[in-house]
């Protein structure tokens, strides 16, 4: 064996002189944010619930409640003398009034079941009697329309000449009402789950405890979590508004910057609420219940799917004090009417108070272990 073939014995665990690497002030924050974004990206459920589900909701509801041309009204004419006359008088309006001749009992039964909006019964002296339901809007409309048609056909002359122009403006349709509401609801959902649930999950996995066993700054951790929400918020806003504009030709009147600012305030406010719900819970089951409990009233009252004006006026101030109502109202005013932030200071105040108070309480109660 020649000398050159001998390999010098390799020292295995020579104490390595650790290459000096210094981390800057924001290294922890940056890595926490990056890790959080990667985790979210790799979680298909998150992608679905945060991004896809609201679009599906918008699509489904937008189609179901699209504005249709006024319906053809269905009416029943009670058989007997005069029925033929009524049919012939209504003949010119066939396209909007669908009439059938029936026995009185059948006609009234159909009316009760909602099959007919109106029952027309010829009376003894060549006139007609209407059976209609003043609590059913379509019944009221039908009566007015049929009456006008009969009178005109019988020779009534209108003393005042009138004409009408029809229009279906973007901005006043159901989908225009719906999209800002869905956006608000989505910001609430993902704020509460993305912060509240995520934190309790990490606590249950003892990951929070593991983190505080390092020199990690706790404020960096909370800031990173909040920042990840803001990044997602931008995507949520862009997707839902983009979808509304492209698919439903929605018109966005407010400036994008104002909308994003509002989105940020909403996301942070609900993040604070999420933090509060997560401050003590040890198990994801208990925090899930808590989150649903907090969100439930807002799904119903805050005007996501229908206007809260439908509730009695006496509870309106209470409803307006809910954070989701404030966010939805502000988003609608900005997106649909181009309102500025300054003109909505009341709503902003509601959001800031909810977010701020929750945050302060949460920090006081929060358990890392």
Interaction site with other proteins (CB under 8 A):
13, 15-16, 18-23, 27-28, 30-32, 35, 38-39, 42-43, 205-207, 209-216, 369
Residue closer to other proteins by CB (options 38, 156) is: 38
Question: Three-state DSSP class for 118?
Answer: strand
Residue found by looking up tokens 């409309």 in the block: 141
Beta carbon of residue 217, minimum distance to other proteins (angstroms, whole number)? 8
Sheet holding 73-78, edge to edge: 97-102, 73-78, 118-122, 128-131
**How many residues comprise the chain?**
369
Phi-psi region of 155 (alpha: psi -120 to 50; beta: other; left: phi over 0): left
- Yes or no: say if 44 and 238 are a contact pair by the CB < 8 Å rule: no
Q: Toward other proteins, which CB reaches closer, 23 or 151?
A: 23
CB of 170 vs other proteins, minimal distance in Å:
41
Q: How far is the CB of 40 from other proteins (least distance, A)?
A: 9
Angle at 149 between CA 143 and CA 151, to 5 degrees: 100
CB of 205 to other proteins, least distance (A): 4
**41 or 129: CB nearest other proteins:** 41
Between 156 and 210, name the residue whose CB sits nearer to other proteins: 210
CB of 30: closest distance to other proteins in angstroms?
7
* Between 21 and 310, CB nearer to other proteins: 21
> Tokens for 179?
């999209």
Nearer Cβ to other proteins (220/329): 220
What is the nearest approach in angstroms of other proteins to the Cβ of residue 190?
18
Report the nearest approach of other proteins to the CB of residue 193 (Å). Answer: 16
Q: Which is nearer to other proteins, 4 or 214 (CB)?
A: 214
Which two tokens mark 105?
């009992």
Q: Classify each residue of 104-117 as buried b or exposed e, where b means 16 or more C-beta atoms within 10 Å of its C-beta.
A: eeebbebbeeeebb
Tell me whether residue 23 or residue 340 sits nearer to other proteins (CB atom): 23
Select 7 or 214, whichever has its Cβ closest to other proteins.
Answer: 214
Q: Minimum distance between the CB of residue 16 and other proteins, rounded to whole angstroms?
A: 6
In angstroms, what is the minimal distance from the CB of 202 to other proteins? 8
74 contacts 138 by C-beta, under 8 angstroms? no
The enclosing H or E element of 36 equals helix 27-41
Q: In sequence order, which residues have a C-beta less than 8 Å from that of residue 49 and are 6 or more positions away?
A: 189, 190, 193
Is 271:196 a contact under the CB 8 Å cutoff? no
CA–CA distance, 156 with 163 (Å, rounded to integer)? 17
Task: Tell me how far apart the alpha carbons of residues 303 and 300 are, in angstroms, rounded to a whole number.
Answer: 7
Rounded least distance, CB 295 to other proteins, Å: 26
Three-state SS at 119? strand
Half-sphere exposure for 336 (CA within 13 Å, toward CB): 19
Local structure of 335: helix, strand or coil:
helix
Q: Which is nearer to other proteins, 106 or 216 (CB)?
A: 216
Place of tokens 């009524």: 86
């Amino acid at each position: 064996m020649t000398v050159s073939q001998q390999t010098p014995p390799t020292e295995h665990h020579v104490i390595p002189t650790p290459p000096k690497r210094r981390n800057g002030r924001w290294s922890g924050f940056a890595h926490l944010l990056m890790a959080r974004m990667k985790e979210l990206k790799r979680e298909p459920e998150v992608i679905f619930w945060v991004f896809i589900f609201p679009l599906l909701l918008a699509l489904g509801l937008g189609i179901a409640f699209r504005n249709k041309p006024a319906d053809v009204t269905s009416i029943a004419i009670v058989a007997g003398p005069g029925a033929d006359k009524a049919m012939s008088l209504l003949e010119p309006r066939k396209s909007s009034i669908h009439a059938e001749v029936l026995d009185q009992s059948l006609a009234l039964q159909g009316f009760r079941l909602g099959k007919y909006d109106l029952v027309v019964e010829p009376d003894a002296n060549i006139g007609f009697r209407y059976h209609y339901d003043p609590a059913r809007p379509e019944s009221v409309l039908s009566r007015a329309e049929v009456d006008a048609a009969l009178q005109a056909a019988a020779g009534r002359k209108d003393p005042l000449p009138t004409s009408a122009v029809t229009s279906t403006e973007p901005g006043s349709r159901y989908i225009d009402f719906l999209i800002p509401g869905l956006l608000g609801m989505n910001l609430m959902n993902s704020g509460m789950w993305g912060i509240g649930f995520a934190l309790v999950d990490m606590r249950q996995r003892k990951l929070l405890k593991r983190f505080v066993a390092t020199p990690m700054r706790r404020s960096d951790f909370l800031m990173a979590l909040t920042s990840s929400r803001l990044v997602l918020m931008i995507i949520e806003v862009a997707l839902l508004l983009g979808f509304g504009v492209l698919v439903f030709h929605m018109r966005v009147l407010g400036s994008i910057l104002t909308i994003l600012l509002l989105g940020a305030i909403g996301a942070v406010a609900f993040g604070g609420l999420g933090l509060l719900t997560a401050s003590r819970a040890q198990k994801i089951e208990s925090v899930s219940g808590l989150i649903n409990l907090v969100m439930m009233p807002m799904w119903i009252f805050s005007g996501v799917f229908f206007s809260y004006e439908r509730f009695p006026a006496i509870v309106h101030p209470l409803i307006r004090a809910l954070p989701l109502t404030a966010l939805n109202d502000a988003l609608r005013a900005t997106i649909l009417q181009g309102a500025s932030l300054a003109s909505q200071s009341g709503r902003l105040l509601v959001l800031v108070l909810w977010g701020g108070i929750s945050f302060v309480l949460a920090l006081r109660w929060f358990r890392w272990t």
